[in-house]
Structure 1
Amino acid sequence: MSRLTVLGSCGAWPEPGRACAGFLLEHNGFRVVLDLGYGAASRLFAHCPGGLPDAVVVTHEHPDHCADVSALGRAWHYTVQSATPSARLPLHCTPGTIRRLEAMEPRPHPTELFEVHDLAEPADSDPTGVGPTDSDPAGVGPFGLTSYPLPHHQPNFGVRLSAPGLTVAYTGDTGPSPALAELGRDADLFICDATLRTPPPEGEPRYLMTAAEAGHWAAEAGARRLMLTHFWPGADRTTAAEEARARFGGEVLVAEEDVTVAL
């Protein structure tokens, strides 16, 4: 069985009743969390049998993507490590993420709670930023993990998780980039940033996308399904979906808290 549950769909800060970025991906009994921002941990504990996942991937250090990893670390420390002190939860992230977690809770240090794998430490780096970084050949449970550097205010890595018969790709936060076509290439589900209502004036740096741009890159990638996420609080999600459908011929989903999608 394979499924994805939305833990949080907001960018910046959570709307009432919602949470910031977070997804729970389950495949053949293995559970991996993709980002865990403000308010997402409580939903994780509700949806994750036994309360804890098997691995975590954090695309970048902004707190709307990683703040609740601190809550998960506490839960791990007081439950799993109380019985097995040496047990650490695999965490694939950027160095900045660890610094943020350390600032929130230095004792125990995040590296005592998590087995840290650095998304920013590629096996074969592409200086153009277009190619992938096969950052962890060992993968994440049943998944092979490939990360792609994408344009954002902080170092951000789109992640592609592939297992036999299943590929899920997730942008984190990003501006338009040719790397998106490779990140989402033929993915069963492409989870895309759709923060902006309208693109900024021409010539300004691009660190976030519109729903229409998400639709464009999903079409370029040949993805099967597109899920829009990271909505600015107050965004009109129905309009966003319509704009994405104008660019993408496949199924367009809108991330909504606690919704589970079969894969």
Structure 2
Amino acid sequence: MRLTVLGACGAWPEAGQACSGFLVEQDGFRLLLDVGYATLPRLLERVGAEQIDAVFVSHGHPDHCADLNPLLRARHLRDDKPDPLPVYSLPGALDAVLALDRPGMLDDAYVRHEFTAGDRLRIGPFEAQTRLLPHWVPNAGIRLSVGGRVLAYTGDTGPSPEVVELARDADLLLADASHADRVPEDSTNESTSARQAGAQAAEAGVGMLLLTHFWPGTDRTAAQAAAAETFDGEIAAAIPDLTVQL
């Protein structure tokens, strides 16, 4: 299993970067985990839009799903249209982004698979387990297993025992770290600091912690240092083009 970071900004993309988007590859199968603002151009530097096999969207905030629209356009507005793209999301999470075009325009470009958080899914070669994690809107974390390797991704979340269970003994935890050390008072239940992510990674016994969803202006080095105070395993900050081979 190989993960490539397309973008890791939260809220909006900083100059030259993109919001949440991760390409996960296994045996030629390509799965996108989230497809936020500005992720499509970065994806197209690597593969064609028609080469994506499935998309999983953690929740409906646009910094996690806005570029689904241009991705579907890039597949639909061509002479040699690929098969409809399987798109996995919580009920209603994609209503807004799928309504950006005129009614029906992109209907044959995708197949919508809505699930309930807690469901187990089969996505290509991946066994997927989902969990409801706390955020401003319903957010589904996902645990991908294949070939004895496990990747866990939180989407956006506040601290929760559910994060620990999602990531239990995972080889890689891709975790919300919106803030390096201190989460603003009005977001303590909906966002996680790098320090808290480190503590949850330690409790879960993960092999590697990859911090993501940095609020614009967050110092990535400071975030890694904060996480290292609570987790003594390998830590990295998600930056565009970073690749992790499991």
Check whether TM > 0.5.
yes
CA deviation vs aligned residue, 1:51-105 (integer Å, no higher than 9, x gap): 53111000000000000011111111124xx4358x2111111233321122312
- The match for 1:234 is 217
Q: How does 1:67-86 map to 2 (within 5 A)?
A: 67-79=66-78, 82-83=79-80
**TM-score normalised to the size of structure 1?**
0.87
Whole-Å separation in 1 of the counterparts to 2:210 and 2:71: 25
1:29 aligns with 2:14: no
User: Which residue in 2 is equivalent to 1:181?
Assistant: 164
Write the distance in 2 (CA, Å) between the matches of 1:250 and 1:205: 25
User: How far, CA to CA, are the matches of 1:90 and 1:64 in structure 2?
Assistant: 20
Gaps of 5+ in 1: 123-132
Offset at 1:110? 5.2
Is the Cα–Cα contact under 8 Å of residues 50 and 75 in structure 2 kept in the other structure?
Answer: no
- 1:109 offset after TM fit, Å? 5.1
SS at match of 2:99: helix
- Unmatched segments (≥5 aa) in structure 2: none
Write the letter of the residue equivalent to 1:226: L
- Residues 175-213 of structure 1 show CA distances to partners (whole Å, capped at 9, x for unaligned) of 001001111111111000000241334x97510000001
**Contact 1:44–1:51 (Cα < 8 Å) also in 2:** no
Amino acid at match of 1:194: A
C-alpha separation in 2, matches of 1:104 and 1:69: 10
Answer yes or no: is 1:97 the counterpart of 2:93.
yes
Q: Which residue of 2 aligns with 1:116?
A: 112
- How far apart, in 1, do the equivalents of 2:50 and 2:4 lie? 14
Which amino acid letter does the alignment assign opposite residue 115 of structure 1?
Answer: V
**How far apart, in 1, do the equivalents of 2:224 and 2:102 lie?**
41
Amino acid at match of 2:183: P
Which position in structure 2 is the counterpart of 1:134?
Answer: 119
Cα distance change on mapping 1:12 and 1:84 into 2, 3 Å: closer
Deviates more, 1:109-118 or 1:22-31: 109-118
What amino acid sits opposite 1:11 in the alignment? G
Show the 5 A alignment for 1:162-177.
162-177=145-160
Is 2:234 the partner of 1:251?
yes
1:100-144 alpha-carbon deviations (Å, 9 max, x no partner): 12231244455532211113x25xxxxxxxxxx1242xx110001
Q: Normalising by structure 2, what TM-score?
A: 0.93
Match of 1:218 in 2: 201
RMSD over aligned Cα, in angstroms? 1.8
Which SS does the other structure have where 2:143 is aligned? strand
Secondary structure of 1:161's counterpart equals strand
Q: What letter matches 2:189 in structure 1?
A: R
The corresponding residue for 2:184 is 200
